[in-house]
Amino acid sequence: MRPRGADRILTLDATRIVDCRGIRRDPQANATPLVADLLATGRARIDPLRIGLDIAPDCALIDAQGRPEPRIRVIGPASRAAFWEITAIPDIREQAQTLATELIRQHASA
Ligand SMILES: Cc1cc2nc3c(=O)[nH]c(=O)nc-3n(C[C@H](O)[C@H](O)[C@H](O)COP(=O)(O)OP(=O)(O)OC[C@H]3O[C@@H](n4cnc5c(N)ncnc54)[C@H](O)[C@@H]3O)c2cc1C
């Protein structure tokens, strides 16, 4: 990680990563380093209309072979290929709450 305006790179040990850097018009051409790496290594793919990442109805990222990866979830505008109306904050808020509730349920039953 490089803090804004700094030259130094920080290395952090992390259990979970939340990438909140948004998504731009062409999700592949303008990919953040994290998304570019997921695409390059086949752990993600662009949806057929090239408007976002390909994801499953439960927000799991779909890999290059079409398999959902439940450890990587995508919400907000980055999930617009699956949900389309997911740009306004009230929609994102509801989606985030639904996913958080599901993750807590899974964690509790694990
Ligand atoms: C013009 C406009 C008007 C809108 N009006 C409304 C409205 O009235 N009501 C409504 O509900 N929604 C509105 N929206 C939609 C809503 O603002 C967006 O869908 C929402 O903000 C997306 O949230 P996000 O967290 O995915 O991304 P963003 O809000 O885009 O957040 C991404 C953040 O990451 C930061 N960032 C990017 N790269 C880096 C980096 N390398 N290092 C550090 N930080 C980085 C950016 O500076 C930015 O702050 C509007 C959108 C636009 C463009």
For the stretch 37-69, pLDDT in tens is: 999 999 999 999 889 999 999 999 999 999 999
Q: Which ligand 1 atom is the nearest neighbour of the CA of 21? A: 34
Of the candidates 16, 24, 100, the one whose C-alpha atom is nearest the C-alpha of residue 59 is 100
Give the chain's mean pLDDT: 92
> What pLDDT sits at residue 88?
95
Give the tokens for residue 42: 């086949």
Q: Which residues line ligand 1 (CB under 6 A)?
A: 4, 20-22, 76-77, 87-89
Alpha-carbon 109 to chain mean position: 24
Domain ranges for the chain: 13-75
CB atoms within 10 A of CB 73: 19
Name residues whose C-beta falls within 8 Å of residue 30's C-beta, 6 or more positions apart in sequence: 24
> What pLDDT sits at residue 32?
87
Q: Which of 1, 74, 87 to mutate to test the pocket of ligand 1 (most atoms within 8 A of CB)?
A: 87
pTM: 0.88
Q: How far is the CA of 22 from the centre of ligand 1 (A)?
A: 6
